[in-house]
Amino acid sequence: MPLPDQTLLQETLATAIEDFGVPGATLLLWNGTGFAEASAGVCNIDTKVPVTPDTLFQIGSITKLYTAALCLQLVEEGKLKLDAPVRETLPDFALGDEDTAARVTLRHLLNHTSGLDGDFFKDAGRGEDRIEKYVGLLKDVRQIHPLDHMFSYCNAGFVVAGRMVEIASGMGWDKAVRTRLAKPLGTPSFSTLPEQAMRYQTAIGHLGVPGSLIVTPIAYLAQSNAPAGSMPMARARDVLAFARMMMNDGKTPDGTPILSPESVAAMHGFTAACPAGMNIDAIGLASFMWDWDGDGTYETFGHDGSTIGQAAWLRYHPASGAAFVLLTNGGNGKGMADKLMAEYFPALGHIAPPPMPQADPTLDYAANPLLGRYGKASGTIDISQKDGKLIAHHAPSAEFAALQGIYDVELSPAAPGLFVGVPPGYTRPVTYHFLEEDRFGRARYLHYGVRAHPRIDE
- What CA–CA distance (Å, rounded) separates 290 from 33? 23
- What CA–CA distance (Å, rounded) separates 182 from 144? 35
Active-site positions? 61
Q: How far is CA 300 from CA 13, 267, 287, 288, in A?
A: 23, 12, 10, 8
371 contact partners, CB below 8 Å, separation of at least 6: 383, 384, 385, 442
* Per-state percent for the chain, helix, strand, coil, to nearest 5: 30, 25, 45
Q: How far is CA 132 from CA 158, 165, 258, in A?
A: 12, 11, 26
- Percent above pLDDT 70 for the chain: 99
Q: What is the pLDDT along the chain (458 residues), one digit of tens a residue?
A: 689 999 999 999 999 999 999 999 999 999 999 999 999 999 999 999 999 999 999 999 999 999 999 999 999 999 999 999 999 999 999 999 999 999 999 999 999 999 999 998 888 888 899 999 999 999 999 999 999 999 999 999 999 999 999 999 999 999 999 999 999 999 999 999 999 999 999 999 999 888 899 999 999 999 999 999 999 999 999 999 999 999 999 999 999 999 999 999 999 999 999 999 999 999 999 999 999 999 999 999 999 999 999 999 999 999 999 999 999 999 999 999 999 999 999 999 999 999 989 999 899 999 999 999 999 998 999 999 999 899 999 999 887 776 678 999 999 999 999 999 999 878 888 999 999 999 999 999 999 999 999 999 87
- What CA–CA distance (Å, rounded) separates 314 from 131? 26
State the CB neighbour count (10 A cutoff) for residue 366. 8
Q: How far is CA 283 from CA 107, 153, 310, 351, in A?
A: 11, 10, 23, 20
pLDDT tens by residue, 400-414: 776 678 999 999 999
pLDDT tens by residue, 92-143: 999 999 999 999 999 999 999 999 999 988 888 888 999 999 999 999 999 9
Nearest to 40 by CA among 30, 407, 48: 48
pLDDT tens by residue, 354-404: 998 999 989 999 999 999 999 999 899 999 999 989 999 999 988 777 667
Nearest to 433 by CA among 441, 443, 424: 443
Contact 112, 97 (CB under 8 A): no
- What CA–CA distance (Å, rounded) separates 211 from 21? 6
- What CA–CA distance (Å, rounded) separates 388 from 59? 40
What b/e readout covers 61-71, taking b as 16+ CB neighbours within 10 angstroms?
bbbbbbbbbbb
The pLDDT, as a whole number, for residue 1 is: 63
Mean residue pLDDT of the chain comes to: 95
- What CA–CA distance (Å, rounded) separates 300 from 355? 15
109 contact partners, CB below 8 Å, separation of at least 6: 86, 154, 157, 158, 160, 161
The structure's pTM equals 0.97
